[in-house]
Amino acid sequence: MPPVKSHPVVRITLRVVFTALAVFSCGTLSWLALLRIAILRGRRGDWIAFWASLALVVCAFWTFSVGDTSEQASGVDYVGLLILFSLALGVPAYYLTVDIRLHRTPKAAPAPQPRIAAVQAELDELSDLLRRDQDGRR
């Protein structure tokens, strides 16, 4: 897929916004960054990652609702927090990696140089010189 064309300021602003959303919401809005990647690249794996992150956020909130209603946190609550904090750290790292690679311009490969023909011509010339030298000695 060719790199996406956009102004560098817009790209950096979007990176900051989507990273901040994921981190400062403690992972609850991390699915937005994955939605952007899925829309930009359109790959099946990106869509699976988006839907999985959205499902994990829903599961995390579900663990808070089924936990004990007492003041003290239970083990289920800690599982929900672990899910959210994992999303808050993992999704921005993945998002930044993919987005930077997506917008990187590919470097043009150097044009093949006609070295083989030049080397062949030099070898032919050397062969001729050697033959003349050997013919001159005989």
pTM reported for the whole predicted model: 0.70
Residue 83, domain member (yes or no): yes
Note whether residue 91 is domain-resident.
yes
The full 3-state SS of the chain, as one line of letters, equals: CCCCCCCHHHHHHHHHHHHHHHHHCCCCCCHHHHHHHHHHHCCHHHHHHHHHHHHHHHHHHHHHHHCCCCCCCCHHHHHHHHHHHHHHHHHHHHHHHHHHHHHCCCCCCCCCCCHHHHHHHHHHHHHHHHHHHHHHHC
User: Would you state the pLDDT for residue 75?
Assistant: 80
Q: What is the pLDDT of residue 26?
A: 93
Q: Is residue 1 part of a domain?
A: no
**Is residue 61 included in any domain, yes or no?**
yes
Q: Which pLDDT value is given to residue 34?
A: 96
Question: Quick one: pLDDT at residue 92?
Answer: 97
Q: Which residues of the chain fall below pLDDT 50?
A: none
Number of domain units in the chain: 1
Whole domain around residue 70: which residue ranges? 8-111
Q: Is residue 131 part of a domain?
A: no
pLDDT tens track for 21-38? 999 999 999 999 999 999
